[in-house]
């Protein structure tokens, strides 16, 4: 006996109830449960759909789909950082290298003046404002995309909702920077190191909030070619 389309829909709803919100993973789990239910029905023909479904679900263990979900998220985050890294590397080759160097020297010069501390704080305040503005914009875009397709993709959520996540934690440390000693920027090695860090940080923010979301369609097609998005 084969499952009917309403029963397949029920399985999609069932995975959603068990915290699997992304269509790519839902599809795989629905097919697995459906196969198992059909297999159970071969020996226990009188078993109801719900009972067979619960029986199939129990085989996933006490944590249900959680383990599969967590590991999938981990693998997808790894993929996202791979995309991020690929983009970052491009800023160290021509012609983008010119922008990177200009940014680095700009920051280096700013930090070599007597206003180094204010310059650094000003720079990170600008990044902070950019981050908040882009986060809001990307969140809105994500909602619009979801409303259009009614499907959620794990990579799409990472691109639009988790962009620069760890950077925001770093920016919350900003008030503590006021405690920096002014003399710290007298040391050229520190100026050099802070300039490198700030350049990389600016690039990282720009790539995760601007470059990657603009390439979302291409990256999603690359990640889920099987679904022909």
Partner 1 sequence: MYVCNMANSKLYKGSLTTIILKLLNESEKMYGYEMTQKVKAITKGELNITEGALYPALHKLEAEGLLDVEVKKVDNRLRKYYKLTEKGNKETVSKLEELKDYIKTMETFMSPKFSLD
Contact footprint for partner 1 (CB under 8 A): 2-5, 8, 27-32, 34-36, 39, 59-61, 63, 67-68, 71-72, 75-76, 78-79, 225-227
Please state, in angstroms and rounded to a whole number, the distance separating the CA atoms of residues 209 and 163.
6
Please state, in angstroms and rounded to a whole number, the distance separating the CA atoms of residues 182 and 172.
21
Taking a C-beta distance cutoff of 8 angstroms, is the pair 41, 47 a contact?
yes
The Cα angle at residue 165 between residues 164 and 168, in degrees rounded to 5: 90
- Shortest Å distance, C-beta 62 to partner 1: 9
Is 22 or 134 the residue whose CB approaches partner 1 more closely?
Answer: 22
Is 75 or 193 the residue whose CB approaches partner 1 more closely?
Answer: 75
- Shortest Å distance, C-beta 211 to partner 1: 21
- Shortest Å distance, C-beta 166 to partner 1: 20
Please state, in angstroms and rounded to a whole number, the distance separating the CA atoms of residues 193 and 216.
33
- Shortest Å distance, C-beta 11 to partner 1: 8
What Rg value do the Cα atoms of the chain yield, rounded?
A: 24
Is 8 or 167 the residue whose CB approaches partner 1 more closely?
Answer: 8
Please state, in angstroms and rounded to a whole number, the distance separating the CA atoms of residues 36 and 60.
12
- Shortest Å distance, C-beta 31 to partner 1: 5
Q: Given its phi and psi angles, is residue 19 left (phi above 0), alpha (psi -120 to 50 degrees) or beta?
A: left
Is 14 or 104 the residue whose CB approaches partner 1 more closely?
Answer: 14
Is 69 or 127 the residue whose CB approaches partner 1 more closely?
Answer: 69
């Amino acid at each position: 006996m084969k499952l009917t389309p309403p029963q397949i829909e029920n399985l999609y709803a069932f995975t959603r109830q068990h915290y699997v919100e992304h269509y790519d993973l839902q599809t795989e789990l629905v097919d697995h449960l459906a196969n198992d239910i059909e297999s159970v029905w071969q020996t226990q023909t009188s078993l109801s759909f719900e009972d067979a479904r619960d029986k199939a679900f129990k085989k996933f263990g006490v944590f249900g789909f959680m383990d599969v979900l967590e590991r999938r998220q981990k693998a997808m985050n790894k993929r996202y950082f791979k995309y991020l890294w690929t983009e970052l590397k491009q800023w160290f080759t021509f012609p983008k290298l010119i922008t990177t160097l200009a940014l680095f020297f700009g920051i280096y010069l700013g930090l070599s003046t007597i206003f180094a501390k204010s310059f650094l704080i000003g720079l990170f305040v600008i990044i902070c404002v950019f981050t908040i503005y882009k986060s809001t914009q990307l969140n809105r875009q994500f909602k619009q995309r979801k409303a259009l397709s009614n499907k959620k993709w794990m990579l799409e959520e990472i691109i639009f909702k988790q962009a620069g996540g760890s950077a925001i934690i770093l920016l919350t440390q900003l008030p503590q920077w006021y405690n920096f000693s002014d003399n710290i920027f007298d040391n050229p090695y520190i100026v050099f190191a802070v300039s490198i860090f700030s350049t990389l940080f600016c690039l990282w923010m720009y790539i995760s909030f601007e470059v990657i979301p603009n390439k979302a369609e291409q990256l999603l097609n690359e990640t889920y070619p099987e679904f022909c998005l």
